[in-house]
Amino acid sequence: MKKIEIVQGLLDANNATAAGNRALLDRHGCTAVNIMSAPGAGKTSVVLRTIAGLDAHVRTGVIEGDVVSTVDAEKVQGTARAVVQINTKGMPESCALVADMVDAALRRLPLEELDVVLIENVGNLICPTEFDLGEHLKVVIASTPEGDDKPLKYPLIFADADAVIINKIDLLPYVDFDMGKFTQAVRDLNAHAPFFALSCKTGEGVAEWVAWLRDRTRKA
Amino acid sequence: MKKIEIVQGLLDANNATAAGNRALLDRHGCTAVNIMSAPGAGKTSVVLRTIAGLDAHVRTGVIEGDVVSTVDAEKVQGTARAVVQINTKGMPESCALVADMVDAALRRLPLEELDVVLIENVGNLICPTEFDLGEHLKVVIASTPEGDDKPLKYPLIFADADAVIINKIDLLPYVDFDMGKFTQAVRDLNAHAPFFALSCKTGEGVAEWVAWLRDRTRKA
């Protein structure tokens, strides 16, 4: 039983740190959003569209999570008020952000100048479900080329989501993706999360998502 | 140091089981291929095209890995000579196949009637790199809608690959994907792996991949 006990110990420690992160964010009136998806579903594109959409109303900071590289932080720099890159390389935490990493990143962000912190998780539909980061909202992004069966194969991340984004709807004419099948599969797992079908490429549907998120910030 | 020691102990045990798997496969003259990609890149479509392409020459069995569900095994059933589904749910191994799971699956396959075993790993670009399954070849699939920066962000899986497949080239006119940038990023990590640019939807490029794989089987 030693292995399972240690895993449980790690998760308990993570939850305690996550609670601290949430308290810190709350003291500053910041809403934190944990953005999760498979690799290449468009997390960074959603982050960029979201910053632009919120910009007139609320001040947005970003925490970029990746195993290695600063590719995403470089894309976001210049649009967000502040960006911190986390590289998760190392074992065994490398497959997702954990609360400790977000704690370190939050200490480097000017929280007193921010209303929203977008946390772009590592591209992974499995591991991020294990780790509370202290976020207020969990958002999962699926993209149409991935296929409509993803909720069946990665149910937990869809079951826990506060909102589900279906990105790359501009590709619908070219891929086998049944929107009805996808939304029904999510609804079977999650009775309440709203759906936002959008294209970061064309901008279609982005406004509805941004309006929903803005309503959930403290400075709405 | 206890946490790291235990992780190392798990990996040592995994490697020992993987060596046993490889010996079992070798006794039966079976070539095993570990097929890895992000969720939705087209692992199952590649498996289906590969079975069809190899069919006249070699006998193919399949091990389907998923966190939950039998969606993929159902698709493959009827084309492969034999299919075994592994569901990896449970912690902490849920994010990838490990050698123990493949050991159990190999015992349920009629290896004496097979030349190739295609092992479809869980959709994940990070965790599968930690676990030797006893395979002879590692193949990583990327798909064009994911973007050309994946090797920069998930380098280990590309560095370790014996072959790299770029799937969904039928979508190239509709997505931002620079093939030169992608192949250069892989080449910077991996000097030798061949590239196969293909579309499982149209069949373009599939023959080259199948011919390469066939040359690497014992019954070529």
Residue in B with minimal Cα distance to A176: B201
Cis peptide, bond prior to residue A151, ω within 30 of zero: no
In a domain? residue A63:
yes
Each residue's pLDDT expressed in tens, for chain B with a length of 220 residues:
466 677 778 889 999 999 999 999 999 999 999 999 999 999 999 999 999 999 888 999 999 999 999 999 999 998 999 999 999 886 555 799 999 999 999 999 999 999 999 999 999 999 999 899 999 999 999 999 999 999 999 999 999 999 999 999 999 999 999 999 999 999 999 999 999 999 999 999 999 999 999 999 976 4
CATH value at residue B151: 3.40.50.300
In a domain? residue A142:
yes
Residue B30 C-alpha, separation from nearest chain A C-alpha, in angstroms? 29
Residues A128, A176: Cα–Cα separation, whole Å: 27
Count the domains in chain A. 1
C-alpha B30: how far from chain center: 15
Residue B116's domain spans which residues? 2-215
Residues B66, A43: Cα–Cα separation, whole Å: 23
ipTM over 0.95: no
In a domain? residue A220:
no
In a domain? residue A155:
yes
CB contact under 8 A, A6 and B2: yes
Each residue's pLDDT expressed in tens, for chain A with a length of 220 residues:
466 677 778 889 999 999 999 999 999 999 999 999 999 999 999 999 999 999 888 999 999 999 989 999 999 998 999 999 999 886 555 799 999 999 999 999 999 999 999 999 999 999 999 999 999 999 999 999 999 999 999 999 999 999 999 999 999 999 999 999 999 999 999 999 999 999 999 999 999 999 999 999 976 4
Which chain B residues touch A if contact means CB-CB below 8 Å? 2-4, 6-7, 10, 38-41, 66-69, 71-72, 91-92, 94-95, 122-127, 130, 143, 145-147, 149-150, 152-156, 168, 170-171, 174-176, 201
Residue in A with minimal Cα distance to B174: A171
Task: Spell out which residues of chain A touch residue B123, defining contact as CB-CB under 8 Å.
Answer: 38, 125, 153-154
pTM of the prediction? 0.94
Residue A137 CB partners (closer than 8 Å, separation 6+): A31, A32, A33, A34, A162, A163, A213, A216
In a domain? residue B70:
yes
Tokens of B205: 């490029």
In a domain? residue A184:
yes
B77: left (phi over 0), alpha (psi -120 to 50) or beta: beta
In a domain? residue B220:
no
In a domain? residue B128:
yes
| Per-residue pLDDT tens over the stretch A168-216 | 999 999 999 999 999 999 999 999 999 999 999 999 999 999 999 999 9
Cis peptide, bond prior to residue A92, ω within 30 of zero: yes
Residues B159, A35: Cα–Cα separation, whole Å: 27
Please report which residue ranges of A55-121 form alpha helices under DSSP H: 71-76, 99-107
